[in-house]
Chain A
């Protein structure tokens, strides 16, 4: 069962901000929102995560709505190397000692940066 919905594909001009939306209307109170991306023929790469506050790091910003039912990943100045499939994932943290959890990937958004 998909816990997130994302557009299949998006285009963005090089140098502009890329805004990638994600809907997670059934998110529960203890689930975090994670973003990964996968550049063609490479393994996925972690980008950012958050619970309810907006987050920013050197790669991107994450904006989560107040009701937490949706979020937006922002790449402030997109470059051609940002062309990739972007995955929005919600996951529950594990508090049992020594536990590990795998990631459940959907189909993601194929972001194409146009020169």
Chain B
């Protein structure tokens, strides 16, 4: 247990569905992240929230919509996805301070998403 939980652990959805992934961290951290891991590809950073404000969006398609209502919760809203969006979606959190050189990230177990 890393202190970061993700639900659901597995999700199968059609291309016309709307679903949401949820992440919760119990570590008192102030930054949260979404990563995507496709088969046989490195992990890709999708979104970064620091102090509940989005600070980075790596040109992710608009069919992925993040939401960070508070420092402990992070959502990824999904709509009209494509089969190539099938992947493992990982959430992480970290503590960011002025001297952030050792702010290692703690990852959740991921949500395995399959788009039919």
Contact = CB atoms under 8 A, between A and B. Distances in A.
B45 A102 contact: yes
Contacts of A101: 48, 56, 100
A105 B105 CA distance: 13
Contacts of B55: 99-100
Interface in B30-86: 31, 33, 35, 42-45, 48-51, 55-56, 58
B21 interface: no
A46 B50 contact: no
Given A46-B106, A102-B33, A105-B42, A95 B96 contact: no
Contacts of B103: 100
A100 B50 contact: yes
B105 A103 contact: yes
Interface in A97-115: 97-108
Given A42-B110, A46-B105, A93-B99, A100 B94 contact: yes
Contacts of A49: 102, 104
Contacts of B56: 100-102
Contacts of A21: none
Given A43-B2, A44-B90, A104 B45 contact: yes
Contact of B100 (A51, A94, A104, A106): A94
B57 to A, nearest CB: 11
A100 to B, nearest CB: 4
Interface of B: 2, 4, 31, 33, 35, 42-45, 48-51, 55-56, 58, 88, 90-92, 94, 96, 98-110, 112
Interface of A: 32, 34, 41-46, 49, 51, 93-95, 97-108
